[in-house]
A and B are shown apart, each in its own frame.
Chain A
C-alpha cells in the first residue's frame, strides 16, 4: 500500500497532472485520492491554480494592443498586442496528456522541411502532412498536395501557388512544425484571412510534444475554409523579422 505524506510533494502532483505516473503509481494515487478527501483537495487546488493562470494568460493575449510593439511591421497594423503573440502552450502543455484522452478528432502534423535553394534566392520546401493518430498509437502519413514556397522577405507571397490544405473529417488540430533552429530564437506565426487582412492572429512557436522541434498548433475550428496569408517571423535584436511567408488555402472538409 502506498502512503502519501501531506502536503503532497510538488513533483508527485506535477507528474500526476501531467499523466506521467506509471499505471500502477497512477492507480495507487487515484485510489488514495478517492479515499482521502484531503488529497483530492490538494489536487483540486493545484488544478484551480493552473486553470486560473491559463485563463489569465489567454485573456492577456486577447487584449487589444494599446501601443505599437517594437519591430511590428506595417503589414500587421491591427494585430493584437504583445500578449497576443503568446501561444498559451505552457499551461496547455500541462494538461496535454489528459487532453489526448479526450481528443475527439485526430491531431495532424504538418511538417515544414528545409528545401533546396532555387534560382533567384527562393527556397522551396516540401511539406508533409502526417496525421498522428495518437489516441490509437498509430502513425500514418500522406503527402500534402502542394509545395511550400518560402519566399525571401520582400517578395510577394501572393505570386506563389497557395498551400492547399484539405482536412479529412475528424482532424481536430494541425501542427505546423518548424525546421530545427536555435531554441534561443523565438519564432511566431502570423495568420490573416485574405479577405480580411486587417484581422490577424499571431501564435508563438513552442516546443511540440514528442518532438525536438518547435512549431505551432492550431485547432481546425480556427481555420474555416478560405484563403489565408501566413507569415513566419523570428525575433532578431528585439524586432520581429520575416522568416518566410506563404498563402494557405483551407478547403472544405472531406466527408
Chain B
C-alpha cells in the first residue's frame, strides 16, 4: 500500500501535498504524482474502452493535462485530485470516441481492409500468445482436478451450466459456489505467478 492511499480521495493529504510541491516546481513530486495515479487511470480507461493501448495513451494525456494545471496552480481543490483526474480522463475518452465515429463516417471505401488491418497487428498477436500461454499454464497447474475441469469446460469450452450441473450432480446454487471457489484458486495462482496485462503505464516526458 502506498502512503495514505486506501480509498481516501476526499481530503487526501497526499494529493494536497503533491499539488503544493508541483506548484513550487518540485520535479520529484511530479514523478510521484505520475507513479501514484497512473495505475488507476490506466485501469479505469482500460475497463471503459476495452483497448489497452488507447487506455495507456489517454491516461498519459490526462496526467499531462492535470500536471500542467498543477504546475500553474490552477487546481481549485487539490484534495479532489482523483475526481479531477477521473473527469479529465473520461472527457478525453469521450472525445476520442467521437473522433472514431467521425473517422468511420468519413471512410468512403475499403472499410473491410481497414478492419482486417487493424485486427492483425503482430504486436497484439504476440501479447495474446503470451496471455494464452500463461493461462494454459496456470489452469494446468491447478492441483484440484475438478477445478481444472470445471473452469476449462465452463469458460473455455463454454459448456452450458445446466449440462455441467447434471454431469457433476450439482444444484445450480452449489455449482455457483464451486465455480466461485475454483475461480478464487485460479486467481491466487495467477497472481502468485505474477501474471498481468503486458505493459504498464508509461513514464511522462
Pairwise interchain contact A37-B40, C-beta atoms closer than 8 A: yes
Distance of A102 Cα from B111 Cα, bound (Å): 18
Given known pairs A4-B7, A52-B132, the reply for A36 and B2 (CB within 8 Å) is yes
Residues of A within 8 A of B196 (CB): 44-45, 48
Distance of A49 Cα from B188 Cα, bound (Å): 11
Distance of A108 Cα from B82 Cα, bound (Å): 38
Given known pairs A36-B7, A48-B195, the reply for A41 and B155 (CB within 8 Å) is no
Distance of A88 Cα from B83 Cα, bound (Å): 35
Residues of B within 8 A of A16 (CB): 47
Shortest distance between the CB of B141 and any CB in chain A (Å): 13
Pairwise interchain contact A47-B39, C-beta atoms closer than 8 A: no
Kindly specify which of B22-30, B68-76, B156-164 makes contact with the partner chain.
B156-164
A170 beta carbon closer than 8 Å to chain B = yes
Residues of A within 8 A of B139 (CB): 56
Distance of A174 Cα from B157 Cα, bound (Å): 23
Distance of A91 Cα from B112 Cα, bound (Å): 25
B144 beta carbon closer than 8 Å to chain A = no
A251 beta carbon closer than 8 Å to chain B = no
Listed residue (A16, A32, A34, A170) with the most chain B CB atoms within 10 angstroms of its CB:
A34
Pairwise interchain contact B197-A57, C-beta atoms closer than 8 A: no
Kindly specify which of A64-72, A93-101, A122-130, A143-151 makes contact with the partner chain.
A93-101
Distance of A88 Cα from B156 Cα, bound (Å): 8
Main secondary structure of the interface of A (DSSP, over half): helix
Distance of A208 Cα from B80 Cα, bound (Å): 40
Contact flags (1/0) for B122-142 with A, using CB distance below 8 Å? 000000100110111011000
Pairwise interchain contact A104-B104, C-beta atoms closer than 8 A: yes
Pairwise interchain contact B7-A35, C-beta atoms closer than 8 A: yes
Q: Which of B9, B50, B128 contacts A99 (CB 8 A)?
A: B50
Distance of A91 Cα from B131 Cα, bound (Å): 15
Contact flags (1/0) for B68-108 with A, using CB distance below 8 Å? 00000000000001110110000000000100110011001
Residues of B within 8 A of A86 (CB): 157-158
Residues of A within 8 A of B132 (CB): 52, 55-56, 59
Residues of B within 8 A of A204 (CB): 158
Pairwise interchain contact A32-B9, C-beta atoms closer than 8 A: yes
Distance of A48 Cα from B134 Cα, bound (Å): 10
Q: Which of A36, A41, A43, A53 contacts B156 (CB 8 A)?
A: A53
Distance of A221 Cα from B107 Cα, bound (Å): 15
Chain B: CB-nearest residue to A50:
B155
List 21 A-B residue pairs with CB atoms under 8 Å apart, sorted by A's residue number: A31-B83, A34-B41, A34-B82, A35-B12, A40-B40, A40-B42, A43-B47, A47-B46, A47-B47, A56-B155, A57-B156, A60-B156, A82-B157, A83-B157, A86-B158, A89-B158, A90-B154, A95-B50, A102-B50, A170-B104, A170-B105
Question: Contacts A43-B47, A52-B131 given; 20 further ones with Cβ under 8 A?
Answer: A16-B47, A27-B86, A31-B83, A31-B86, A32-B7, A34-B41, A35-B12, A35-B81, A36-B5, A36-B7, A38-B6, A39-B40, A48-B196, A51-B197, A52-B132, A53-B156, A56-B132, A91-B155, A170-B105, A183-B160
Chain A residues with CB under 8 Å of chain B are: 1-4, 6, 10, 16-17, 19, 27, 30-41, 43-49, 51-53, 55-57, 59-60, 82-83, 86-91, 95, 98-99, 101-102, 104-105, 169-170, 183-184, 186, 204, 221, 224, 253, 255
